Chain A
Amino acid sequence: MKYDDPRLRDKLAAEYVLGTLRGQARARFQSLMRYDGALRSVVKDWESRLTPLARAGTDIAPPERVWQALSERLTGEPHRLRWWESLALWRGLTATCAAFALVLAIVTGVSREAEPPMAMIAVMNDTQGRPAMTVSWPSMQAARDRPFLRVRVIQEHPVMAPGTAWELWMLPGGESNPVSLGLITTDVDQVMELKPELAARIEGAWGIAMTVEPKGGSPTGQPTGPMVMQGPCVKL
């Protein structure tokens, strides 16, 4: 299916909002939406058109127990963390991932001549938890003349929607906010040069994430779009 056909996009959005888009088609549409802000706004337009229909239904008061359960959860649950804060839970898990990452590195890390060996890797999972991309880099000491990251796609990329960009973020240690590493392309194998100030910090990073941002990258310097891939950094 060609998801860039405006009529098809409109039809799918309408049926998504109506509720007749089901099963796999619904799941696929939801993952397209994550990448595609323009598609989200087509959906929003359909929500504005159709959702007022809900007013025609009669109100039905829920039983008291629903509110009781809710208010218990409100007082019990901690403040919601931003995604990069909640990812901090990984920090304890990285050791168990090391073996897996090592195997992957053997598969993906066929080193090129004159390229220093990779020292760290982040195996990034998509939102369904499937490995989708790796980001690896050599020891910054060894690559100090030309610090770089290597980005490899290990699962078919979704299409980059028009007007959007994919931005990579390094999750530094401590409570610091994500730091932009820059925009990547859809190439399956690409090298991204690192500014020296980033090279100095990346060895302390504990994770890498990717978000979908407006064309040209996040306007605020912090992630603004949905996070679509993430993974902890592991020593090789």
Chain B
Amino acid sequence: MSESARDAQAARLAELLSQSALRNQRAFSELYAVTAPKLFGVALRILRRQDWAEEVLQECYMSIWNHAGDYAITKSAPLTWMTSIVRNRCLDWLRRPQQEATGDEYEIAIDAWRDESPGPIEQLAAAGDAAALARCLEMLDGRQRQSIMLAFFHGMSHSEVANHMKEPLGTVKTWVRRGLERLKGCLQQAESP
């Protein structure tokens, strides 16, 4: 997607949100049609269960409908705002003790984040506005990158990442922390002219 097409899409989403705040159901249904596949993917990868992901998605869109009026004051990109709502709801869901996520069927997808396969990062680089993020991720140590990706995409806790990577918990925590610090430093450099 070119930069201007992305800006146009963001502007359209912002418009649909402000229409939704005015209880315009048609605008909301268009908003759903455009964004639900993205957000369902986000929820499914974190929760790893179809029924939970459907339930959370439904709750999130109700929340978006009810709080669409608050969007304007956040000054975030519309998709970032909506994605954060979904991610937070999923992570809160996982906090329920009985909802320990399992599911081996996602192991294959998780393997895609191994350091030797930069596929998804290339995909990110192609997304244009996320190019800086992709570049900065590539500069990270492979282990740092993998642990951050596992946590972000699959909602893994530190200990789940440690189990998955067969590494000590403390080591994984350090990778995550240092990886985030370096990522921030790199992105700040990319921002400054």
Residues of A within 8 A of B (CB): 10-11, 14-15, 17-20, 22-23, 26-27, 44, 47-63, 65-67, 69-71, 73-75, 77, 79-80
Contacts and interface: CB of A to CB of B under 8 A. Distances in A.
Looking at A47, A56, A59, A62, the one whose CB has the most chain B CB atoms below 10 A away is A56
Contacts of A14: 180, 184
Size class of the contact patch on chain B: 35 or more
Contacts of B87: 17, 19, 51, 54
Contact of A59 (B38, B46, B54, B62): B38
Nearest to B154: A19
A49 B133 CA distance: 7
Given A49-B187, A52-B124, 6 more contacts: A22-B95, A26-B91, A27-B95, A49-B183, A56-B123, A66-B36
B5 to A, nearest CB: 14
A60 B84 contact: no
A216 to B, nearest CB: 19
Contact of B180 (A15, A27, A75): A15
A73 B42 CA distance: 23
A127 to B, nearest CB: 14
A17 B151 CA distance: 10
Contacts of B58: 66, 69-70, 73
Interface in B65-102: 65-66, 74, 76-77, 80, 83-84, 87, 91-92, 94-95
A53 B157 contact: no
Contacts of B38: 54-55, 59
Nearest to B187: A49
Contacts of B76: 44, 47-48
B77 A48 contact: yes
B111 to A, nearest CB: 15
B38 to A, nearest CB: 5
Contacts of A57: 41-42, 45, 120, 153
Contact of B80 (A18, A51, A80): A51
26 contacts: A10-B184, A17-B84, A18-B148, A18-B176, A19-B152, A20-B161, A22-B91, A26-B91, A44-B74, A49-B187, A50-B152, A51-B80, A51-B87, A52-B80, A52-B127, A53-B152, A56-B130, A58-B41, A59-B41, A61-B36, A63-B54, A66-B36, A67-B36, A69-B58, A74-B25, A75-B25
Given A61-B36, A74-B28, A47 B54 contact: no
Interface in B141-178: 148-149, 151-153, 155-158, 161, 176-177
B124 A20 contact: no
Contacts of B184: 10, 14, 49
Nearest to B77: A48
Contact of B83 (A18, A51, A69): A51
B40 A61 contact: yes
A156 B61 CA distance: 36
Contacts of B91: 19, 22, 26
B124 A56 contact: yes
Contact of A60 (B41, B158, B176): B41
A154 to B, nearest CB: 27
B17 interface: no
Contacts of A22: 91, 94-95, 157-158
A51 B84 contact: yes
Given A47-B84, A60-B37, A60-B40, A52 B133 contact: yes
Contact of A53 (B57, B74, B133): B133
B151 A62 contact: no
A15 B84 contact: no
Contacts of A56: 120-121, 123-124, 127, 130, 134, 153
